[in-house]
Chains A and B, each alone.
Chain A
Amino acid sequence: MVAVHAWQQNDDTGLPLSVDIHRQELTYGGLLSDLDELLGARRGDIRLQISEAALMDPACQGTVEQLVQAGYLLSVREFGTAASSLRRLGSLGFPTIRFDRSFMTGLGGRSTEQLVLETVVALAAEMGVVVGVDGVTQQRQVESLLDLGITRAQGGLFGRPTGWDGFASRHLPGQGREAPFVWHPRTTGEAERSLSGGTS
């Protein structure tokens, strides 16, 4: 939780911090009060990542609704792998969804993955849902994602998980030697553009 305070002191980043929430934590009743205590009151700055399977689990739904009402931002990860949550997205505030890494393998062409991505991106745009992907490892995939209009990506191509200091010096403005959004280790102009916003 050190990172939360460091993150919040760094006000000008304008980036929400994502925190993974697991299914067990959702079935446990006291999650909301625990989160408030640990994270402080700035709920809108925190994005809670919940897997699609947990989201669709009836046992978790009470807690999920509490979190939405409390104003936390939600992000659905591993999207597309469990029971389809399309119908629930509307009731979750303005969530983001993150496609499961398994979708990356079939990118391009007319594969199921590509078709599902295209459809969901179009649907998400109408519903005001931001779409991201997980597991980007190749430059080729970034290009395909840009074609699809997906501008948020995470994966080994951009940086492996590191401690807070390493992350701040590598990716945050004003903290290190490098300019904002310079990816490491395989920096490319395309990736930079892709994350500084704007569809291509």
Chain B
Amino acid sequence: MSRPRRRLPVAGAAVVAGSISALTIPLLRFAGVDVSAAAEAFARIALDVIAPTTAAFCLGLVAVRRHDGDRPVWALLAIGTAGWAVGSLVWAWYLHNGEPLPVPSPADAGFVAFPVMWCAALLTRSTRGGPSGGATLNARALDLVDGAITALSTLLVLWVVASNVAGVDQHETSTAVTMLYPVASTVSLTLLFRTSRRCSNDRQAFSLLTAGLVFQVLGDLGFLVTTHLLRSSETVPSAVDTAWVIAFTLIAGAAWVAAPGEQPGPRRDHRRQRGILPIGLACVAATAALVDLTSTSGHTWTVATLVLVMLLMLTRQTLTLSVNRRISGKLVTSVRSVEREAGHDRLTGLANRRHLNKRLQDLIDDRTEQAGDRRSPGVLFLDIDMLKPVNDSLGHEMGDHLIRVVAERLRARWGDDAVRFGGDEFVVLLRDCPSTGSVERQAARLARDMHEPVDVEGTILQPSVSVGVTIVDDESTPTELLRRADVALYHAKSTGKGCSASYGPDIEDRSAQRIALAPQLRRAVDWGELELHYQPVVHVDTGVVRSAEALLRWRHPEEGIITPDRFLHEADALGLLPEIGRRSLLEAARRFARINERLDGPGICVSVNLSASELGPEIVTHVEEALADSGLPPELLVLEITEDVIIDETVRRTLAEIRNRRVGIAIDDFGTGNSSLRQLGEYPASVLKIDRSFVSSIGSGEHGSVDDSRIVRAVTELATRMGMATVVEGVETPQQAQALAALGCKYFQGWLIDRAVPFDELERRWIQGSVSSERALRRIRNGIGADEVSSVDAQTRTGV
């Protein structure tokens, strides 16, 4: 858009036009030029016609050019101004013919059109929504009331002046008609003020219009005073003409400024006084009326008009008051909502941690005050299990849904005593608990009830939370309470998700150990203290090692070999698992690539465990890297996942990609977790590993073992028919081995064969030159010989 046109040239033009109108003839006369009265009259009338015609033309142009919402406004302004021009022409016609003007004359119709059309234009404009919003019903009513107050007040003042000062007879029509002009123009002016306050667009143009209208009012007043009140002249005096010429020059200038397009104005607040003009006029009117009433006996209509003006003023105040009330109501609401938002969480609507410390302190104080009452308030610290996998695989929106579901359930049970601590963490204050046991029961029930599945837009989510519990005691401080509850929560999470744990000294010890463990674990990864041990899987009939499971071990410098159950959770929390998994894949692949190069025959597979958090898309890259680096044939690599891994579309696609590279997938610990029989066909798995719990029951002859053996047979058969191999984990005795073999199981893994051993030992025992088979067969038949017992030392059991 081009640069906005400025007001200054317009003001200059107005001064020039005014000067020409006022000074040309006196100057000419002064210069000695003889100007006849007829010529002077002609010149002035011509100017009176030309000025409004030009202004009307300019305004019309604006209306034609603009296509925004103000178009009808400009059109109405143009029509009104054109009306004035026509009126002037008619007047000129009468003067030219030398006829006296009738009262009211046809010219008056044209002149009256000016204020009427302008009022219409300004009312139209104020209904239009500017940047600061359209006028409300209330505001429009105010417009009308103000217009009426202005009209009546002006009329009252003028009439009082006319009748008292000039002694005009109240039945003189000509004066009454002439009096209407300043009244109507003042009303236009009032409305113009009001709309300019409301719509700040085209501020420049409208300020020029206002100036023009002010001159118009002055001209009208001057005309009234000189021709009717003072009766100093019968014709229009040159000063009045000049005012009108200036007015129309300014109006034409306003059109010139507005022609290029709408200029957005600054945002205005509504605090500025809009009512000064009508109120001021009403005051003047009241004073005038008072003077009128005291000086003369007073006219009835003066009193009536005054009363009317006062009534309108009352209406105005009422309207303004209601607007104010609404605004202050809005203000109170918004202040309250700001206060509430500051103390509440936006996503869940629960209280946030802002006042948590104070509320914990209150909880502690309550307890001390009511020491005799034997109440035991408690604090629950809980967090949502598996939120990250949900976020990663189903999207953050679904994660937020999950948070909201949990929050909603907490609110339903504890109301405002449930606090969102941040992220997926919540704190619950338990106030009225009769006993410690009750606190723990509530926590346990919370963890249990949270499992109720929920349908979120077609996806079934099963929320699960881990809960840490602590009881408020004499030494409690807010910080200490939170720390204890957090320690208990960590313990709950590491013992298994979806359960609760209470704070106690033993947990404190373990927490201390864990804190000590974290830096050591980082060092272990950096310095290569983590190593892989391998447990062989043999075929029951031939005794041949067909595969080996790589199991992670930590060779701790002081504590010796540590099994993953003690550090895997911590490693996950520290985010070390992807790196550990990557290295494990590389090492296992490298080792078995070397062995398989030496061997003839079908080769030995190696399987590597993957946890849920490693199952992102990057696992495909890691697998490819390991295969490329080692040269291991892909069909000799197997990835083991537990059935707890959420099988969603993303995971399924990742697993399918791995299968497409001919790498195997094994389902670990089958029969313990979440997988349904239906899903069995949906995993792209090649191996099913039956959980050790089945095996231990089969060997022992305990209750349910008959069913367990039937189930093992059925599952083995099912897996075989689906093209999967089954491996039985945790085989420990020859009795178990024989029972399992009778059920159709072919591949065994467990202490009966061998525990997990370092690679060199695995190679020495099982893969010397060719794969040894007698050793396994001997063990399956006779168990571990007396000579070999010592080699199975007191180390922890295998298995991750």
Q: Which of B452, B675, B706, B722 contacts A112 (CB 8 A)?
A: B722
A131-B448 Cα distance, complex, nearest whole Å: 31
Task: Return the CB mask of B679-714 against A: 1 if under 8 Å, else 0.
Answer: 011100000000000000000000010111011011
Q: Verify B680–A83 contact, CB threshold 8 A.
A: no
Q: Counting CB contacts under 8 A, is A122 at the interface?
A: yes
Q: Verify B710–A84 contact, CB threshold 8 A.
A: no
Q: Counting CB contacts under 8 A, is A58 at the interface?
A: yes
Q: How far in angstroms is the closest Cβ of chain A from B425?
A: 23
Q: Verify A27–B677 contact, CB threshold 8 A.
A: no
Q: Counting CB contacts under 8 A, is A70 at the interface?
A: no
Query: CB within 8 Å of A: which of B409-460?
Result: 448-449, 451-453
Q: Verify B710–A59 contact, CB threshold 8 A.
A: no
Q: Verify B710–A127 contact, CB threshold 8 A.
A: yes
Contacts of B675 in A (CB 8 A): 83-84
Interface residues of A, Cβ cutoff 8 Å to B:
23, 27, 52-53, 57-59, 80-84, 86-87, 89-91, 100, 102-103, 110-113, 115-116, 118-120, 122-123, 126-127
Q: Which of A57, A90, A102, A111 contacts B704 (CB 8 A)?
A: A90
A177-B230 Cα distance, complex, nearest whole Å: 116
Contacts of A118 in B (CB 8 A): 721
Q: Verify A115–B721 contact, CB threshold 8 A.
A: yes
Q: Verify A86–B451 contact, CB threshold 8 A.
A: no
Nearest B residue to A89, CB-CB: B707
Contacts of A119 in B (CB 8 A): 714-715, 717-718, 721
Q: How far in angstroms is the closest Cβ of chain B from A131?
A: 13
Task: Return the CB mask of B198-210 against A: 1 if under 8 Å, else 0.
Answer: 0000000000000
Q: How far in angstroms is the closest Cβ of chain B from A77?
A: 14
Q: How far in angstroms is the closest Cβ of chain A from B449?
A: 7
Q: How far in angstroms is the closest Cβ of chain A from B593?
A: 34
A91-B705 Cα distance, complex, nearest whole Å: 12
Q: Verify B452–A103 contact, CB threshold 8 A.
A: no
> Using a Cβ–Cβ cut-off of 8 Å, how many residues does chain B contribute to the interface with A?
28
Q: Verify B718–A116 contact, CB threshold 8 A.
A: yes
Q: Decide yes or no: A112 and B676 within 8 Å by CB, A59-B448, A119-B717, A120-B714 being known contacts.
A: no
Q: Decide yes or no: A127 and B677 within 8 Å by CB, A53-B453, A57-B451, A59-B451 being known contacts.
A: no
Most buried by B among A53, A118, A119, A127: A119
Between A and B, 8 residue pairs with Cβ closer than 8 Å are: A52-B676, A83-B675, A86-B677, A87-B704, A90-B707, A112-B678, A112-B681, A122-B714
Q: Decide yes or no: A81 and B678 within 8 Å by CB, A23-B452, A115-B718 being known contacts.
A: yes
Known contacts A112-B722, A115-B718, A118-B721, then 6 further A-B pairs from the complex at CB < 8 Å, ordered by chain A residue: A83-B673, A90-B707, A103-B678, A112-B678, A115-B722, A119-B721
Nearest B residue to A27, CB-CB: B449
A87-B671 Cα distance, complex, nearest whole Å: 8
Query: CB within 8 Å of A: which of B637-696?
Result: 671, 673-678, 680-682
Query: CB within 8 Å of A: which of B733-769?
Result: none
Q: Verify B451–A84 contact, CB threshold 8 A.
A: no
Q: Verify B722–A91 contact, CB threshold 8 A.
A: no
Q: Verify A84–B671 contact, CB threshold 8 A.
A: yes
Nearest B residue to A59, CB-CB: B448
Q: Verify B711–A116 contact, CB threshold 8 A.
A: no
Q: Verify A87–B707 contact, CB threshold 8 A.
A: yes
Contacts of A122 in B (CB 8 A): 714, 717
Q: How far in angstroms is the closest Cβ of chain A from B141?
A: 57
Contacts of B677 in A (CB 8 A): 80, 84, 86, 116, 120
Contacts of B706 in A (CB 8 A): 90
Contacts of A126 in B (CB 8 A): 710
Nearest B residue to A82, CB-CB: B676
Q: Verify A102–B711 contact, CB threshold 8 A.
A: no
Most buried by A among B675, B682, B714: B714
Q: Verify A59–B678 contact, CB threshold 8 A.
A: no
Contacts of A123 in B (CB 8 A): 710-711, 713-714
Contacts of B713 in A (CB 8 A): 123
Contacts of B448 in A (CB 8 A): 58-59
Most buried by B among A58, A82, A84, A118: A84
Q: How far in angstroms is the closest Cβ of chain B from A129?
A: 10
Q: How far in angstroms is the closest Cβ of chain B from A144?
A: 17
A80-B682 Cα distance, complex, nearest whole Å: 13
A115-B387 Cα distance, complex, nearest whole Å: 35
Nearest B residue to A103, CB-CB: B678
A110-B718 Cα distance, complex, nearest whole Å: 11
Q: Verify B449–A86 contact, CB threshold 8 A.
A: no
Q: Verify B681–A86 contact, CB threshold 8 A.
A: no
Contacts of B673 in A (CB 8 A): 83
Q: Verify A116–B681 contact, CB threshold 8 A.
A: yes
Q: Verify B449–A83 contact, CB threshold 8 A.
A: no
A83-B647 Cα distance, complex, nearest whole Å: 13
A113-B717 Cα distance, complex, nearest whole Å: 14
A102-B676 Cα distance, complex, nearest whole Å: 13
Q: How far in angstroms is the closest Cβ of chain B from A146?
A: 21
Contacts of A87 in B (CB 8 A): 671, 704, 707-708, 711
Q: Decide yes or no: A112 and B453 within 8 Å by CB, A81-B676, A119-B718, A120-B714 being known contacts.
A: no
A115-B707 Cα distance, complex, nearest whole Å: 20
Q: Which 3 A-B pairs give the minimum distances between C-beta atoms?
A: A112-B681, A90-B707, A123-B714
Contacts of A57 in B (CB 8 A): 451
Contacts of B704 in A (CB 8 A): 87, 90-91
A120-B707 Cα distance, complex, nearest whole Å: 13
Contacts of B674 in A (CB 8 A): 83
A102-B677 Cα distance, complex, nearest whole Å: 12
Q: Verify A112–B671 contact, CB threshold 8 A.
A: no
A115-B714 Cα distance, complex, nearest whole Å: 11
Q: Decide yes or no: A84 and B676 within 8 Å by CB, A90-B704, A119-B717, A127-B707 being known contacts.
A: yes
Contacts of B715 in A (CB 8 A): 86, 119
A86-B451 Cα distance, complex, nearest whole Å: 21
Contacts of A90 in B (CB 8 A): 704, 706-707
